[in-house]
């Protein structure tokens, strides 16, 4: 039994966020090779190799999901989660503007906090529902925020970095929350996704 363990964050990324074909087998291969490399070179070199493999594999994994039609189920689940997130956001905005802090300045401060909380919960829920769903949810969030920025939906003048924060941190929180919390959807046959 080896004392080397591969980067946990990268492993969780594969297990929760990505619609990986043969997920268990692919991750097992990576872990096996990581151990061999850590023994023959160094753990840091093996970690770099592991991350390199993980990052370079993402486009192929997503592409493969599109080819097999598996993405349709994940995209539908992501849309469902997004609708629920939208309703929660609407309710939260209503409460903030009408009850908690009617003035605009307070809303500008509270809006990103509420937004990030909702996207984090959405990402977590999406990963619980189905492996691969968070990546579609992150995409939907990014497109929506992008459109809202383009049509200048915000009536209050805000600095560019404020909007940029929504555009980047929103999708990131969707992707990273399930990874950080190690959400593992139980799979009866993980190797034949």
Partner 1 sequence: MTFLADLFYIAKQMKRGELLGSLEHIILLALARLDGNAHGMIVRREIEERTGRNISIGAVYATLERLEAKGYVSSSTGDPTPERGGRAKRLFRVEAAGNRALQISGQTIRSMTADLKGRWETI
CA angle 132, 68, 136 (to 5 degrees): 30
Instruction: Return the residue of 3, 40, 67, 161 that touches partner 1, per CB under 8 A.
Output: 67
Which among 140, 127, 172, 141 has a CA at the least distance from the CA of 12? Answer: 127
In the complex, minimum distance from the CB of residue 69 to partner 1, in angstroms, rounded to a whole number = 11
Q: Running DSSP on this structure, what letter comes out for residue 21?
A: T
Residue by residue, DSSP assigns 132-190 as THHHHHHHHHHHHHHHHHHTT---S---HHHHHHHHHHHHHHHHHHHHHTT-----TTG
Q: Give 57 or 97: the residue with its C-beta nearer to partner 1.
A: 57
Q: Give 62 or 117: the residue with its C-beta nearer to partner 1.
A: 62
**Both structure tokens of 147:** 């459109």
Instruction: Return the residue of 12, 19, 35, 178 that touches partner 1, per CB under 8 A.
Output: 35
Contact between 24 and partner 1 (CB under 8 A)? Answer: yes
Q: Per-residue x/- marks for partner 1, 79-118, CB under 8 A?
A: ----------------------------------------
> For residues 69 and 116, what is the distance between their CA atoms, to the nearest angstrom?
30
Instruction: Return the residue of 7, 21, 112, 165 that touches partner 1, per CB under 8 A.
Output: 21
The owner of tokens 């915000």 is 154
Contact between 31 and partner 1 (CB under 8 A)? Answer: yes
Q: Where does this chain bind partner 1 (CB under 8 A)?
A: 1-2, 6, 11, 20-22, 24-33, 35, 53, 56-61, 63-64, 67-68, 191
């Amino acid at each position: 039994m080896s004392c080397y363990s591969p980067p946990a964050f990268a492993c969780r990324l594969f297990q929760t966020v990505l619609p990986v074909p043969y997920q268990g087998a692919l991750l097992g291969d990576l872990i096996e090779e990581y151990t061999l490399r850590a023994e023959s070179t160094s753990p840091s070199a093996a970690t770099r190799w592991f991350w390199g493999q993980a990052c370079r594999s993402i486009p192929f994994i997503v592409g493969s999901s599109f080819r097999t039609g598996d993405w349709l189920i994940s995209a539908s689940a992501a849309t469902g989660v997004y609708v629920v997130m939208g309703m929660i956001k609407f309710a939260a905005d209503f409460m903030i503007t009408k009850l908690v802090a009617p003035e605009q300045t307070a809303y500008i401060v509270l809006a990103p906090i509420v937004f990030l909380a909702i996207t984090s919960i959405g990402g977590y829920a999406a990963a619980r529902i189905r492996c691969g769903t968070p990546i579609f949810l992150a995409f939907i969030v990014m497109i929506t925020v992008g459109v809202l920025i383009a049509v200048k939906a915000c009536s209050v003048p805000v600095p560019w970095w404020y909007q940029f924060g929504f555009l980047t941190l929103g999708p990131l929180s969707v992707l990273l929350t399930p990874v950080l919390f190690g959400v593992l959807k139980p799979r009866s046959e993980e190797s034949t996704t």
